[in-house]
A and B are shown apart, each in its own frame.
Chain A
Amino acid sequence: MSTPNTASLIRPAFTLFVLLTIVTGLAYPLVVTGLGKALFPQAAAGSLIEQNGQTVASSLIGQSFSGPTYFWSRPSATAPQPDNGLASGGSNLGPTNPALKDAVKGRIDLIRGAHPDQTGPVPADLVTTSASGLDPHISPAAAAYQIHRIAKARGLSDEQVQLLVAANTDGPQWGLFGEPVVNVVKLNLALDGLKK
């Protein structure tokens, strides 16, 4: 039997490549999109929250807050503005980088200044940037740290704000996975909802 040459590989390679590209690159995502829209329309479209006909948030994507009447999110390293949906990513600062130390020092000073009643160490998630720059959550400790400031600024009692925080806190999923978290975006929307 004569040995088939390399050229004889081109037709099968090309045919298989085209076929697999169409099946996996076109048919597969289209089928998943169809199924996703049918079974989980809200999730497939981005878990968007609408108010008065306007999209005001995605419950999964963090927003930046810095005013006295809102819970503050984690710092975001996205550029040019924090929580920029078009430029996800972290700071990529290494643990020995002086820039990390400077950035965290600035944030600690800012947070201490805004929370004169708090004397303990500042919760780590409030002064470190998230991996995505779009983290919608803070830890329950970071929420508790801010409750008094928000209650004061909004003329509410600490207990009222505490109840809202509890309502927007999720324990570990199924009791098994992940950490307890507070969704800052939903919490702040709920705070604004209180007024009305």
Chain B
Amino acid sequence: MSSSIVFQTAMYLVVLFALAWPLSRLLATALDGSLSSRFAFLGKSERALCKLMGINADEDMPWWRYALALLVFHLIGAVFVYAQQRLQGSLPFNPAHMGAVSPDSSFNTAISFLTNTNWQGYAGESTMSYFTQMLSLAAHNFMSAATGLAVAVALIRGFVRRKASGVGNAWLDLYRATVYILLPLSVVVAMFLVGQGVIQNFDGYKDVKLTETVTYQVPKTGADGQPVKDAKGNPVMVDTKTSTQTLPMGPVASQEAIKMLGTNGGGFFNANSAHPYENPTPLSNFVQMLSIFLIPAALVFMFGRWVGDARQGLTVLGAMTLLFVAMVGVEYWAEIHANPTLTHLGMSGLPGNMEGKETRFGIVASSLFTVITTAASCGAVNTMHDSLMPLGGLVPMWLIKLGEVVFGGVGAGLYGMLIYAILAVFLSGLMIGRTPEYLGKKIESFEMKMVAIAILVTPCLILGGTALAVMLDVGKAGMANPGAHGFSEVLYAFASSANNNGSAFAGLSANTPFYNLMLGIAMWFGRFTVIIPVLAIAGKLAAKPRLAQTSGTLPTHGPLFVMLLVGTVVIVGALTYIPALALGPVIEHLQLFGR
């Protein structure tokens, strides 16, 4: 029973909703300020903080000022993360003596972590000092997630407020999201993970005396330091022996917890959540999967409560769950079928496609994780996505391209889905010939323009970026796999960056100036050219009156609207991306199974 995908998915959803429901209460009280008015010491420390920042605690920011505040905050962060990577060689907590990171990689990583993408062109265990991992990277896991929460809350305020000029106070929203929500949850999850075997220390890397000496081959280098080549031009290989294995150490669990809870996804190690020190057991894997969807699911419940109609939240949640379950089904079906090329050679077809998977997770927990991490904007992986079967790779790629609205990133999933809800209301309004309304707010031309920008920016970045990369030699040079799969690698990289996911078809050699720059740009605009239109919508809606429901109002709850919402998401996602997907995973599937 434990290996049944139906049972595992059902158990996952039941536990998720059982935890998300109570959490949604905490979210609402923390973010609307009632928590700090109930507990005097919290209120006092908030007022002290406001004094220190030199701001008025009651300042209610108009949407553009709210957006500007977030931008200034993150620009400071970008400079800080860049500088710390460049200087890490002379900073403390660096037992492995990591030197400065290259300028283009530092730029890419700075953008990557502040935009909640956590795309990683580098390998953690051989690049980053403990100090960089904690102070720059883990800290940004918190701050970028807090930004997502803040924007989602600002949008909800837009629906709830009547004739108001502001959408909230960005500083207090960031502070409350981080300190009242992300931090306590992270401590709990981190401790659980340590109990399962995730490491948490500041020790130097440890040497292990191997049970059996390992013999391997390395290219021979001549006196000039260049590899020696034989008559045919192939490098000459020499046998080398080692009886030592060096184990990386570090403060992993603390980073792991917020990596999942903040839907960041940036691994401490190169292998991410496949690494036994990041994700040692099936139970730690389950808790990591729960952590990814926990806050996004709770936010949807909170949305319903905050707008005063729980059914609105349940409707959004229904649409998300429907898409999620369907995608889990396709992913699992693709992965239990072993690669026919390999079974012809004499490999067992059971349990399925094990290339790039860990034994302890098997097909079920790997498929589930793959869908969860790309439905949300997490991007942590417990499976190497590059080695998924063609359709098994199509599912995560498509989920990312939908804009990660199936539960989605912390905050980003909710505001992304509400953008689609506004679009669905607009389309239905056209069909029945009425002025569209959502939650009592009239949707007019300004809002629709902003919706269009938010929905169209990422496809432009993804398709434009991919087209450019496959036309240029520097872009093609990065592909590790031949044929259609190489194209998929590039397409996945741009999709993952522009939608701030961060997972990869990791064969792509992306730590080059070309990809570091291109993907850095995609991540920045993919994040903020969605956030700014969303805040603009929030501001415009907040200024409007809230209309009473009449018999002529299109209800935005119930099964009909669930289907309208799912339909809108699927049609936009399909129309935009089917041509590109046909060139990658679809062709590869036909090549593999078509003969």
Q: Does A132 contact B (CB under 8 A)?
A: yes
Nearest chain-A residue to B286 (Cβ)? Answer: A177
B2 and A175 within 8 A (CB): yes
Given contacts A24-B142, A97-B485, contact A86 B200 (CB under 8 A): no
Given contacts A91-B387, A93-B481, A131-B356, contact A177 B365 (CB under 8 A): yes
How many angstroms from the CA of A164 to the CA of B74 in the assembled complex?
Answer: 56
Query: Which B248-300 residues have a C-beta within 8 angstroms of A?
Result: 248-249, 251, 253-255, 257-258, 269-271, 274-277, 280-283, 285-286
A85 and B276 within 8 A (CB): no
A94 and B481 within 8 A (CB): yes
How many angstroms from the CA of A60 to the CA of B274 in the assembled complex?
Answer: 12
Q: How far apart are B406's CB and chain A's nearest CB, in angstroms?
A: 23
Q: How far apart are A57's CB and chain B's nearest CB, in angstroms?
A: 6
Given contacts A12-B171, A36-B194, contact A95 B588 (CB under 8 A): yes
B77 and A17 within 8 A (CB): yes
Q: How far apart are A178's CB and chain B's nearest CB, in angstroms?
A: 3
How many angstroms from the CA of A78 to the CA of B390 in the assembled complex?
Answer: 23
Q: Identify B365's interface contact among A23, A33, A124, A178, CB under 8 A.
A: A178
**A64, A89, A181: residue with the most chain B Cβ atoms closer than 10 Å:** A89
B187 and A124 within 8 A (CB): no
Q: Does A155 contact B (CB under 8 A)?
A: no
Residues of B contacting A10 in the complex (Cβ-Cβ under 8 angstroms): 72
Q: How far apart are B255's CB and chain A's nearest CB, in angstroms?
A: 7
Q: Identify A132's interface contact among B214, B274, B505, CB under 8 A.
A: B274
Q: Identify B341's interface contact among A46, A87, A101, CB under 8 A.
A: A101
Q: How far apart are B512's CB and chain A's nearest CB, in angstroms?
A: 16
How many angstroms from the CA of A74 to the CA of B196 in the assembled complex?
Answer: 23
How many angstroms from the CA of A66 to the CA of B212 in the assembled complex?
Answer: 8
Residues of B contacting A26 in the complex (Cβ-Cβ under 8 angstroms): 134-135
Residues of B contacting A82 in the complex (Cβ-Cβ under 8 angstroms): 214, 216
Residues of B contacting A94 in the complex (Cβ-Cβ under 8 angstroms): 386-387, 481, 485, 488, 505, 507, 588
Nearest chain-B residue to A63 (Cβ)? Answer: B210
Q: How far apart are B275's CB and chain A's nearest CB, in angstroms?
A: 5
Q: Identify B123's interface contact among A58, A89, A124, CB under 8 A.
A: A89
How many angstroms from the CA of A94 to the CA of B391 in the assembled complex?
Answer: 12
B347 and A61 within 8 A (CB): no
Chain-A contact segment, one of B17-25, B49-57, B455-463: B49-57
Q: Does A2 contact B (CB under 8 A)?
A: no
How many angstroms from the CA of A24 to the CA of B76 in the assembled complex?
Answer: 16
Q: How far apart are A52's CB and chain B's nearest CB, in angstroms?
A: 10
B255 and A29 within 8 A (CB): yes
How many angstroms from the CA of A4 to the CA of B186 in the assembled complex?
Answer: 36
Query: Which A91-138 residues have a C-beta within 8 angstroms of B?
Result: 91-98, 100-101, 104-105, 108, 112, 120-125, 127-138
Q: How far apart are B30's CB and chain A's nearest CB, in angstroms?
A: 15
B191 and A43 within 8 A (CB): no
Q: Does B516 contact A (CB under 8 A)?
A: no
> Would you give the 0/1 interface string for B27-63, flagging 1 where the beta carbon is closer than 8 Å to chain A?
0000000000000000000000100111100000000
Q: Does B358 contact A (CB under 8 A)?
A: yes
Residues of A contacting B280 in the complex (Cβ-Cβ under 8 angstroms): 47, 60
Q: Does B183 contact A (CB under 8 A)?
A: yes
Q: Identify A131's interface contact among B215, B345, B357, CB under 8 A.
A: B357
Query: Which A36-76 residues have a C-beta within 8 angstroms of B?
Result: 36-37, 39-40, 43-48, 54-58, 60-67, 70, 74
B contacts, CB < 8 Å to A? 2-3, 11, 49, 52-55, 65, 68-69, 72-73, 76-77, 80, 123, 125-126, 134-136, 138-139, 141-143, 146, 171, 174-175, 178-179, 182-183, 186-187, 190-191, 194-203, 205-212, 214-218, 240, 242, 245-249, 251, 253-255, 257-258, 269-271, 274-277, 280-283, 285-286, 338-339, 341-343, 345-362, 364-365, 381-384, 386-390, 480-485, 488, 505-507, 588, 591-592
A contacts, CB < 8 Å to B? 4, 6, 9-17, 19-21, 23-26, 28-29, 31-33, 35-37, 39-40, 43-48, 54-58, 60-67, 70, 74, 80-98, 100-101, 104-105, 108, 112, 120-125, 127-139, 141, 172-179, 181, 185, 188-189, 192
A and B contact pairs by CB, cutoff 8 A, 28 listed? A10-B72, A12-B53, A15-B52, A16-B175, A25-B136, A32-B251, A33-B201, A44-B194, A56-B208, A81-B216, A85-B245, A88-B270, A89-B271, A92-B480, A93-B387, A95-B341, A95-B353, A96-B482, A105-B345, A121-B349, A122-B346, A125-B354, A131-B381, A132-B271, A173-B282, A175-B2, A179-B282, A179-B362
Give me 8 other A-B pairs in contact (C-beta within 8 A), A132-B275, A178-B365 excluded: A16-B53, A23-B178, A48-B208, A48-B247, A84-B245, A90-B356, A93-B387, A93-B507
